[in-house]
Amino acid sequence: MSYTSFSFLLFLAGSIFLYFVFPKKYRWTVLLCASVFFYLRATVKGFLYVLVTLLSTYGFGIWLTDFSKNMKQELKQISDRSEKKKRKEILQKKKRRILLAYLLLNFGILAFLKYTNFFLGTINSLAGHEAVPLLDLLIPLGISFYTFQATGYVIDIYNGQLEAERNLAKLGLFVTFFPQIIQGPISFYDQLAHQLYEPHDYDFVRLKKGAELMLWGYFKKLVIADRIVGLLNVILEKYAEYNGTIILTALLVYTVQLYADFSAGIDISRGICEIIGIDMAENFRRPYFATTINDFWRRWHITLGAWMKKYIFYPFAVTKPVMNIGKKIKNSRFGQTDYGKHVAKVFPVSLSSLVVFMVVGIWHGANWKYVGFGLWNGLIIMFSELLKPLFEKMTAALHIRTESAGFRLFQIIRTMFIVIIGYVFDIAFGMHSALDMIRKVFFEQSLSAETWSTLAAISPIDRWDVLLACAGILIMFIVSLIQERTGKRVRDLIDDKHWTLEWAVTFAAVILIICFGCYGPGFDASAFVYMQF
């Protein structure tokens, strides 16, 4: 049941209606039933995997909570300090093993389903023949998203930040909540769960705002993303035949399409939640206005970044070996210099960033190109941190006013460039074709008439589509610019004006989506990009 299907809209209207007419105490059960129905409609087999994750999360969560309680009580009874310390270490180790078992099980399922064929394929390509046959594995819908969300919950319990939920059905709702299971946003338990279980009353203003956010999402998905995706696909299909200019065009199209598509899915999810009364975490903050690559990743897929930061970056950065590297640099002769002091300070953090980006890369898919994607972003961030003093000296020497609009524009363009090169790893078929594409982009540029005529000949979209897409992109840009400048949501800004403006904007959005969106059986509307992860 795709977000863009008529059946989904019917399902959604029914679910929201039932939610508000149900007795307050049981409203969360409507969300649970809707979520289970939504998932089962997509895949029954996949739901079995969800159940495994749910049951293990439930069981291990309670185990860890009880274990922590018993541990505290046991340690309370021990009066001797050294004996208490020893016992604590033993119990901590045991507790860690419980967590490890849980993580192994859940990330094991994720890794097995997503990466087995990748490794088998690598073995086969190394062997030069099919030494081991590939497995026919089903990747359950949204497996990364629900696994991350569930494991985050158990890690929080392990860290003593949460107590386990003892109602299996309630935990089930947290794991399977339908507006987010397909493509996120990934929520923390303490941020989302209580909102799911609390009853929310019908509120017209919220309904209106939620519907407006959904409309914005549908506009980006149906009018922009799905309109231009065809051009991207046809270039990628035979990229080897085209020059760097055409490949750069594909990259620019992908830059717009990916953002329009992914942020659209998130907006629709957040809009649904807003209607119900749930405040879901923001996932995008105008990423293409970022001035550094670090800034970009703080604005792009924010919830994944937050998850990575909390559960990988910090735990990794504070491990003894990583801390020791910093200490070693500090104690070396190099560490005594000004620059050495800086390196000693930022190296553990930069290394952690590299690790996080490697994980993010691998999370995106089982292919060496994603390793390249992680490396590209991780290394850029690492070196930008390590070489920061050098850049600062350079800007000072060149008398560049870093607060000027011109420099900010330069930074935005520079970041976009880095991001776009990173996207090559995303759209290429493999590592080899990614590197080939980068080579073409840099060394095979041609603005000849032949390039444009080739582009026009292969393009599955006509002039009208290009015009519509450009108008849509312009609207998206203006909305982002207003948000970036004012820091306010455009919906709120419109709300402050006379009601006719809000009426007119909603009217225009509905007409644009229905008349100019790409939907229905006449169109091969593509699935949301992040559904595949």
Partner 1 sequence: MKRFLKVISLIAACSLVIGFMQSYVMRPWDFNHLRTKGFYLEPQDSIDIVLLGQSDIVRSWSPLHNYENTGYTSYPLSCDGITAAMWLPMAKEAIRHQHPDLLVVDVNNVTYNEDMELHRPFDQQLVDDMPYDDIRLSLALEARRTGSPRWLNYLFPLREYHSGFPQGWRNVPEQIREIRDIEKRGYTYFKGDAQTCVSAGARDILDLNTAKETMELSAPYEKVLNDFLDYCDANQLNVLFLQTPHRIPNKESKLYANFRRASRAGEIIEERGYPFINTELLKEEIGLDMQKDFYNNGHLNLYGQHKYTDWLFNEIQTRGLLHCAPDHTAAVRAEWDECLKYYHAYTKYLPEYRPAKDTDMCMETPQLIEMLEKDYMN
Told to check if 466 binds partner 1 by CB under 8 A, we report no
For 471, the token pair is: 């108008």
Q: What is the C-alpha separation between 477 and 134, in angstroms, rounded?
A: 44
Least separation, in Å, of the C-beta of 12 and partner 1?
A: 16
DSSP category for residue 23? -
Least separation, in Å, of the C-beta of 267 and partner 1?
A: 20
Q: What is the C-alpha separation between 269 and 256, in angstroms, rounded?
A: 20
Q: What is the C-alpha separation between 150 and 187, in angstroms, rounded?
A: 9
Least separation, in Å, of the C-beta of 513 and partner 1?
A: 9
Least separation, in Å, of the C-beta of 467 and partner 1?
A: 9
CA angle 65, 169, 52 (to 5 degrees): 75
Q: What is the C-alpha separation between 482 and 473, in angstroms, rounded?
A: 14
With respect to partner 1, which residue has the nearer C-beta, 214 or 366?
A: 214
Least separation, in Å, of the C-beta of 510 and partner 1?
A: 5
Long-range contacts formed by 306-312: CB under 8 A, 24+ apart:
306/186, 306/188, 306/281, 307/148, 307/152, 307/186, 307/188, 308/356, 308/359, 308/360, 309/356, 310/152, 310/188, 311/151, 311/152, 311/155, 312/352, 312/355, 312/356, 312/359
Number of residues counted as binding partner 1 (CB under 8 A): 22
Least separation, in Å, of the C-beta of 198 and partner 1?
A: 26
Least separation, in Å, of the C-beta of 208 and partner 1?
A: 9
Which residues inside 443-462 make contact with partner 1, applying CB under 8 A?
A: 462
Which residues inside 198-257 make contact with partner 1, applying CB under 8 A?
A: 204, 227
With respect to partner 1, which residue has the nearer C-beta, 339 or 516?
A: 516
Residue 152 · residue 186 · CB < 8 Å: yes
Which residues inside 82-121 make contact with partner 1, applying CB under 8 A?
A: none
Q: What is the C-alpha separation between 456 and 468, in angstroms, rounded?
A: 16
With respect to partner 1, which residue has the nearer C-beta, 114 or 221?
A: 221
Give the per-residue contact string, 390-429, with partner 1 (x = CB under 8 A; - = no).
----------------------------------------
Least separation, in Å, of the C-beta of 466 and partner 1?
A: 12
Q: Which of 465, 477, 527, 533 binds partner 1 (CB under 8 A)?
A: 465
With respect to partner 1, which residue has the nearer C-beta, 314 or 503?
A: 503
Which residues inside 147-176 make contact with partner 1, applying CB under 8 A?
A: none
With respect to partner 1, which residue has the nearer C-beta, 406 or 521?
A: 521
Told to check if 6 binds partner 1 by CB under 8 A, we report yes
Give the per-residue contact string, 493-522, with partner 1 (x = CB under 8 A; - = no).
------x---x--xx--xx--xxxxxxxxx
Least separation, in Å, of the C-beta of 154 and partner 1?
A: 42
With respect to partner 1, which residue has the nearer C-beta, 4 or 480?
A: 4
Amino acid identity at 228: I
With respect to partner 1, which residue has the nearer C-beta, 3 or 423?
A: 3
Least separation, in Å, of the C-beta of 514 and partner 1?
A: 6
Least separation, in Å, of the C-beta of 522 and partner 1?
A: 6
Q: What is the C-alpha separation between 11 and 37, in angstroms, rounded?
A: 10
Least separation, in Å, of the C-beta of 465 and partner 1?
A: 7
CA-based torsion, 74, 78, 82, 83: positive or negative: negative
Least separation, in Å, of the C-beta of 474 and partner 1?
A: 18
Residue 3 vs residues 209, 274, 304, 398, 521: alpha-carbon distances, Å? 18, 16, 21, 51, 14
Sequence-distant (6+) residues with CB within 8 A of 155 are: 99, 311
Most distant pair of Cα atoms in the chain: their distance:
85
**CA nearest neighbour of 239 among 526, 528, 525, 454:** 454
With respect to partner 1, which residue has the nearer C-beta, 443 or 499?
A: 499
Which residues inside 327-346 make contact with partner 1, applying CB under 8 A?
A: none
With respect to partner 1, which residue has the nearer C-beta, 111 or 505?
A: 505
**CA nearest neighbour of 95 among 158, 17, 3, 6:** 158
Sequence-distant (6+) residues with CB within 8 A of 208 are: none
With respect to partner 1, which residue has the nearer C-beta, 519 or 528?
A: 519
With respect to partner 1, which residue has the nearer C-beta, 308 or 461?
A: 461
With respect to partner 1, which residue has the nearer C-beta, 14 or 160?
A: 14
Told to check if 142 binds partner 1 by CB under 8 A, we report no
Residue 30 · residue 125 · CB < 8 Å: no
Residue 228 · residue 257 · CB < 8 Å: yes
Burial of 371: CB neighbours in 10 Å, binned 0-12, 13-18, 19+? middle
Which residues inside 27-56 make contact with partner 1, applying CB under 8 A?
A: none
Phi, psi (rounded to 5 degrees) for 212: -65, -40
With respect to partner 1, which residue has the nearer C-beta, 494 or 510?
A: 510
Q: Which of 118, 407, 523, 533 binds partner 1 (CB under 8 A)?
A: 523
Residues that bind partner 1 (CB under 8 A): 6, 204, 227, 462, 464-465, 499, 503, 506-507, 510-511, 514-523
